[in-house]
Structure 1
Amino acid sequence: MTRVRPEVVAFDVNETLLDLAPVRAALIEAGRPGELLRPVFGRTLLIGFATSMTGGWCRFREAFDDALAQETDLDPARRATIADAFGELTPHPDVEPAMRRLTEAGIRVITLTHGSPGVAEAGLTRGGITSLVEYSLSSETIRAWKPAREVYLWAAGRCGVAPDRMALVAAHGWDVLGAQRAGLTGAWFPRVEQAYPAAFEAPHVLAPDLAGAVDGLLALPA
């Protein structure tokens, strides 16, 4: 199927848009190495994915707390303090120009996360780019985790567009795969993942950075 220029571009939030440095700093303050963030974040996703795939559901914060409990011996109060650091995230420097380029081209911009409601909004406000984003959607609303097909279709429905008129930009290959399987256009660039998984179908747009991902979407035929 030939891909066309999207009417709406959805951005993943954690790591794609927002820098998790405050969470890493909270781990260090708790006496744990900052490098622990990668396995904790990965285990958080594993818990969420497994719960969702087996017919259950849990909130992102609950999965993150479980992951911290599995990876550390921190008490519940200290774990809660680390989780609170998600409310302190800020956008990566390349986010504002990328979003602005899309909006100036007449393309609507939203955020789409399975993370806690309010995290994206707080980060966008902190970065001064709230005005560039039409909606900040959390799939906690429908009790589902990406990459479940229903999340992407729900987001397209909220925006009033067909799935093939929406794109997802993410620095996570599994997220791009889920979007493409739901009929969206997928755009991947490296942020924390340095390579797109060869086991997945190729992304519609593969770029070296966020600016390149936006360029690739804008280059699609109208």
Structure 2
Amino acid sequence: MNQQWPDVVAFDVNETLLDLSPVAAALVEAGEPAHLLPVVFGRTLHTGTAATVAGVWLPFRAAFESALAQLTDLSDAERARVADTFLELTPHPDVEPALRRLTTAGVRVVTLSHGSPGVAEAGLERGGVTPLVERTLTSETVRAWKPSREAYLWAAGVCDVTPERMALVAAHGWDVLGAERAGLTGAWFPRAERVYPPAFPAPAVVAGDLAGAVDALLAL
């Protein structure tokens, strides 16, 4: 095997691997517009990362329901029902072939989320790709939201590799930036983001899609 490519490739979960359409549908069912989801999701990330920087711990679900409270008039029960739909997510169609391409090449595949425990597992199981994933990791274990350096170094330690032998694939530029600053190889491709944030230093890999990101990592 070409020893230049990573020993372990970690994947972000929400949006990168799993489609958030069920969450958008739950918002509609609760009387909110589906296009509100990106705003709520963005506020969730802002809330969680701000709390981490300030030294306050918030699990993903608490940050998500907090964002809903700020941006909607939903009741406590309605916010809880929307949050529950994260357990109904399924992988995007391009996920299975991308993960299989890596495992066939002998690369270990893990997930690294700051989402609630069980979300990645449920989605991977629903998509039939659980056998392709060595382990699912959530930074809730170390109470540090990505893109904090601690989250990525912890993940590398759990996988028993040095940071430079691990890569992170994500559809979020801020996540890739955090991984690279921690010494990992970063690979970005578009889903909700049209381009990699021009204000950030360019990562090792910028690809047009998930398959391209995987191919680029295997070409290192």
Normalised TM-score (structure 2): 0.98
- Find the counterpart in structure 1 of residue 131 from structure 2: 131
- Find the counterpart in structure 1 of residue 57 from structure 2: 57
- Find the counterpart in structure 1 of residue 193 from structure 2: 193
- What is the CA-CA distance between 1:39 and the residue it aligns to? 0.4
CA distances 1:11-66 after superposition (whole Å, capped 9, x unpaired): 00000000000000000000110000010000000100110001111000000000
Moved over 6 A (4+): none
Q: Work out the CA distance in 1 between the residues paired with 2:35 and 2:50.
A: 24
- Find the counterpart in structure 2 of residue 116 from structure 1: 116
Q: Work out the CA distance in 2 between the residues paired with 1:86 and 1:166.
A: 27
- What is the CA-CA distance between 1:98 and the residue it aligns to? 0.1
Equivalence map 1:137-176=2 (5 Å): 137-176=137-176
Q: SS where residue 42 of structure 1 aligns?
A: helix
- Find the counterpart in structure 2 of residue 92 from structure 1: 92
Work out whether 1:18 is the aligned partner of 2:18: yes
Q: Work out the CA distance in 2 between the residues paired with 1:131 and 1:219.
A: 24
Q: Work out the CA distance in 1 between the residues paired with 2:56 and 2:84.
A: 24
- Find the counterpart in structure 1 of residue 212 from structure 2: 212
Q: Count how many residue pairs are aligned between Structure 1 and Structure 2.
A: 218
Q: Work out the CA distance in 2 between the residues paired with 1:11 and 1:38.
A: 20
Q: SS where residue 110 of structure 1 aligns?
A: strand
- Find the counterpart in structure 2 of residue 203 from structure 1: 203
CA distances 1:144-192 after superposition (whole Å, capped 9, x unpaired): 1000001000000000000000000000000000000000000000011
Counterpart code for 2:55 = G
Q: Work out the CA distance in 2 between the residues paired with 1:219 and 1:139.
A: 29
Fraction of identical pairs, as percent = 72
Q: SS where residue 195 of structure 1 aligns?
A: coil
- What is the CA-CA distance between 1:4 and the residue it aligns to? 3.2
Q: Work out the CA distance in 2 between the residues paired with 1:31 and 1:151.
A: 36
Counterpart code for 1:110 = V
The root-mean-square deviation of aligned C-alpha atoms, in Å, is: 0.8
CA distances 1:57-97 after superposition (whole Å, capped 9, x unpaired): 10000000000000001000000000000000000000000
Work out whether 1:8 is the aligned partner of 2:13: no
CA distances 1:126-159 after superposition (whole Å, capped 9, x unpaired): 0001000001000101111000001000000000
Counterpart code for 1:116 = S
Q: SS where residue 84 of structure 1 aligns?
A: helix
Q: Work out the CA distance in 1 between the residues paired with 2:152 and 2:109.
A: 14
Q: Work out the CA distance in 1 between the residues paired with 2:25 and 2:200.
A: 33
Counterpart code for 1:133 = V
